[in-house]
Structure 1
């Protein structure tokens, strides 16, 4: 009876485990994961904003080709009191000393307004090359954003396929647990009828406990990895979902085409080429300091003066309108060597970019060769693991039949079961390792964002 009680307790506990794991959730397809990542991922959103800044910088409003128009205006007010004495002068009309003239609170008002227009006709081609530099900077920002998206996609599928691997392992461990539970039941009946020893029952119960622990640990890893994926997608951390466990590999002929075009599409090489162009423009912008600057200027102004009466003149109001235009030329014949220094430094920067290009080309070639080797190796491992599963499945089924007939011990049966578990989980790991290796190779060839997942 004590054995039956243990069996029933084990059944009840693992029935709860199986029920909790059987609740289905909405499937998160690869396409939906990509869409959510592109829309919500924090790194991609920041990269998108960086592109917008570069786009604003390359616009005509930041080019220096537009004129400047400045409006100005002002008003002044003055109040003054004065007293004018004539120091003994005689008024010819009365023959008496001339009286002092006193003026109180005499108001003087002045108003002005004007428009000043300035336009640079020629600045030694500095703004021309700077405008082209800003456009190339925008292209570089797009390439940097593309690199961010590629890295995020690789991160996404690394986590997505880890969820898939753990999900498949969970199913394997659930099946294993079910078989172990049946073994406990069978061993219990055999013990009751004297066909087995208590040791076999205890061994079966130990195996159930180990299988349950493996299942619990795998489920916890799965929950944690799903949270990692929800962070990438900017989903609620506890949002539940299932993933697609089907993996398709790119045909070899297509992959060979991608490899041939890798030098034209690799994002690191493209960024280096863009940086070279920017460095070349920096030299030309610096050289513009050797040439003169020619500009146009124009102005329109209005002034009004309201003067109070004085001792000798009556008050008056004067309005003045002015219109002026001019051409100016400035030529900095020597600026203390600043332009010469800037040109030299810009040439050194270009030389550094050339050196960096040679280094980057070598590194990319190495990375592609390593990634291709890893991919081929992991594909071969996956094929071997597939065959290994078939072999261990046959071995397990035969061992199961012989165990039921009492021809092998429980230890031998358990070993066949463990071998099958390892073969199936290793096959899952090999499958997703090969797919991740393929994605890494596609990133290096510049095709990661051009394929259908």
Structure 2
């Protein structure tokens, strides 16, 4: 038993010294975590790239409003043999007759009118860009919530370790006291054995909690795109809650700020443009074309005509009109489908509105309950701390047994760890409420 206890003590001392040195290296604040995530998180990077794609798509260069200009050029070379047999005369044979042609042109095409299709398509691309920004915001919000959830888990385990270290220290002092009492014949060996068992149990719990802390720090490093093994940091364990009046104001304006509702509004607008784009095919298209060309043509001599070289260049322009009077009903089908899609978006909006109201009500109720539990746990810790201090005095005077003292110690330990859990659960519930009201990125955490 003593050998096992010594090994556990040694292991705890080694882990304590290593992790304490690591924890003292640096403190990673919430602001630093959020800033690094915005810069380095893979999901956020991908979302930002999607926004850039949408921004490129909504540019004037992708609108169809600009003309197209194309240059063409060509060259042809002929080498032939020719035999001419006139009705009256000698046969004329020609070998190695060469002829060549060269041409070059610059062609300009521009659509004057296409039934307003490109106009509404340009508007649609603008809305798709706005939608991509909202989608990126949703990704950032989800990442922030996940990030802070792990951050607060690291904070909770950090505070639990402090509680467990104090508990272990008290158990060690009790073991030493029990050993002295046994050595001087003031107690039996059972008290010593009980104290050793309690020290061992506290040591095992501390070791396991340290391992959980290390794992949580690695999870945090993954989200921050940091070196996985770089766990030599501490976190800020301070938790502040927003005033109730601010939360009420956020809830009142949730419909104007919730990212899901804003996205469905953009989708409805895009669907409206899709209908107009489809209808534009009912109207004619008018286009302009222009060209500047140069040609050089050298022909070989024949039996009746001498060879010649012709060079031409000049401008040409034209106006064209095209109108699909009947395209087999394809445009009609596209318009009808676009209308149905618009109707679906309207129905989806009503569904999302109900779901958001439900989620906000649930999140508010959850936060209020978590916060109430947190306040109760604060009182519970205060009560158990008073009870433990009295039990400690009574135990030192021999008025209670070691078992009764241990029970008071366990009660205090459970109360303090429950307080830590309640505090961070309440904070995460508040963050979820802030996300649903669209304010997660607008408040100081």
- Normalising by structure 2, report the TM-score: 0.97
Q: Look up the SS of the partner of 2:327 in the other structure.
A: coil
- Which of the residues 344, 359, 367 maps onto 2:359? 367
Structure 1 residue 84: deviation in Å? 3.0
* Superimposed CA distance per residue, residues 105-164 of structure 1 (whole angstroms, 9 cap, x where no aligned partner): 111000111111111111111110010001000000100000000000000000000000
Relative to structure 1, is the Cα distance of residues 186 and 283 closer, same or farther in structure 2, using a 3 angstrom cutoff?
same
Unaligned runs of 5+ in 2: none
Relative to structure 1, is the Cα distance of residues 347 and 189 closer, same or farther in structure 2, using a 3 angstrom cutoff?
same
Structure 1 residue 10: deviation in Å? 6.3
Which residue of 2 is the match for residue 46 of structure 1?
A: 46
Structure 1 residue 87: deviation in Å? 5.3
Which residue of 2 is the match for residue 92 of structure 1?
A: none
Q: Look up the SS of the partner of 1:83 in the other structure.
A: strand
* Superimposed CA distance per residue, residues 173-218 of structure 1 (whole angstroms, 9 cap, x where no aligned partner): 0111111011110000000111111111000000001000100100
Which residue of 2 is the match for residue 377 of structure 1?
A: 369
Which residue of 1 is the match for residue 131 of structure 2?
A: 140
Structure 1 residue 83: deviation in Å? 3.1
* Superimposed CA distance per residue, residues 258-283 of structure 1 (whole angstroms, 9 cap, x where no aligned partner): 11111100000000100000001000
User: Contact (CA 8 Å) 2:114, 2:286: kept in 1 or not?
Assistant: yes
Rounded Cα–Cα distance in structure 2 between residues aligned with 1:26 and 1:7 = 33
User: Contact (CA 8 Å) 2:117, 2:278: kept in 1 or not?
Assistant: yes
User: Contact (CA 8 Å) 2:12, 2:207: kept in 1 or not?
Assistant: no
Structure 1 residue 303: deviation in Å? 1.2
- Normalising by structure 1, report the TM-score: 0.95
1:419 lines up with 2:417 in the alignment: no
Relative to structure 1, is the Cα distance of residues 328 and 403 closer, same or farther in structure 2, using a 3 angstrom cutoff?
same
- Which of the residues 318, 321, 326 maps onto 2:310? 318
Relative to structure 1, is the Cα distance of residues 102 and 18 closer, same or farther in structure 2, using a 3 angstrom cutoff?
closer
Larger Rg: 1
1:217 lines up with 2:208 in the alignment: yes
Unaligned runs of 5+ in 1: 90-98
Rounded Cα–Cα distance in structure 2 between residues aligned with 1:8 and 1:85 = 121
1:292 lines up with 2:290 in the alignment: no
Q: Look up the SS of the partner of 1:245 in the other structure.
A: coil
User: Contact (CA 8 Å) 1:115, 1:301: kept in 2 or not?
Assistant: yes
Rounded Cα–Cα distance in structure 2 between residues aligned with 1:352 and 1:379 = 40
Relative to structure 1, is the Cα distance of residues 294 and 394 closer, same or farther in structure 2, using a 3 angstrom cutoff?
same
User: Contact (CA 8 Å) 2:5, 2:200: kept in 1 or not?
Assistant: no
1:442 lines up with 2:440 in the alignment: no
How is 1:89-168 mapped onto 2 (pairs within 5 angstroms)? 89=89, 99-168=90-159
User: Contact (CA 8 Å) 1:66, 1:119: kept in 2 or not?
Assistant: yes
Rounded Cα–Cα distance in structure 1 between residues aligned with 2:190 and 2:6 = 18
Rounded Cα–Cα distance in structure 1 between residues aligned with 2:13 and 2:69 = 81
Rounded Cα–Cα distance in structure 1 between residues aligned with 2:377 and 2:99 = 101
How is 1:244-263 mapped onto 2 (pairs within 5 angstroms)? 244-263=236-255
Which residue of 2 is the match for residue 22 of structure 1?
A: 20
Structure 1 residue 299: deviation in Å? 1.3
* Superimposed CA distance per residue, residues 294-322 of structure 1 (whole angstroms, 9 cap, x where no aligned partner): 11111111111111222122221101123
Structure 1 residue 14: deviation in Å? 3.9
Which residue of 2 is the match for residue 96 of structure 1?
A: none
- The root-mean-square deviation of aligned C-alpha atoms, in Å, is 1.5
Rounded Cα–Cα distance in structure 1 between residues aligned with 2:52 and 2:9 = 61
Structure 1 residue 225: deviation in Å? 0.4
* Superimposed CA distance per residue, residues 24-74 of structure 1 (whole angstroms, 9 cap, x where no aligned partner): 221101111001100000100000010011111101111010111121111
- Which of the residues 179, 187, 196 maps onto 1:188? 179
User: Contact (CA 8 Å) 1:11, 1:181: kept in 2 or not?
Assistant: no
Relative to structure 1, is the Cα distance of residues 282 and 87 closer, same or farther in structure 2, using a 3 angstrom cutoff?
closer
User: Contact (CA 8 Å) 1:7, 1:184: kept in 2 or not?
Assistant: no
- Which of the residues 193, 197, 203 maps onto 2:188? 197
Q: Look up the SS of the partner of 2:237 in the other structure.
A: coil
Structure 1 residue 103: deviation in Å? 2.2
Rounded Cα–Cα distance in structure 2 between residues aligned with 1:419 and 1:442 = 34
Which residue of 2 is the match for residue 276 of structure 1?
A: 268
User: Contact (CA 8 Å) 2:9, 2:203: kept in 1 or not?
Assistant: no
Rounded Cα–Cα distance in structure 2 between residues aligned with 1:44 and 1:271 = 18
Rounded Cα–Cα distance in structure 2 between residues aligned with 1:409 and 1:424 = 23
User: Contact (CA 8 Å) 1:18, 1:174: kept in 2 or not?
Assistant: no
User: Contact (CA 8 Å) 1:296, 1:326: kept in 2 or not?
Assistant: yes
Rounded Cα–Cα distance in structure 2 between residues aligned with 1:344 and 1:87 = 73
Structure 1 residue 82: deviation in Å? 2.1
User: Contact (CA 8 Å) 1:305, 1:317: kept in 2 or not?
Assistant: yes
Moved over 6 A (4+): 5-10
Q: How many pairs are equivalent? A: 442
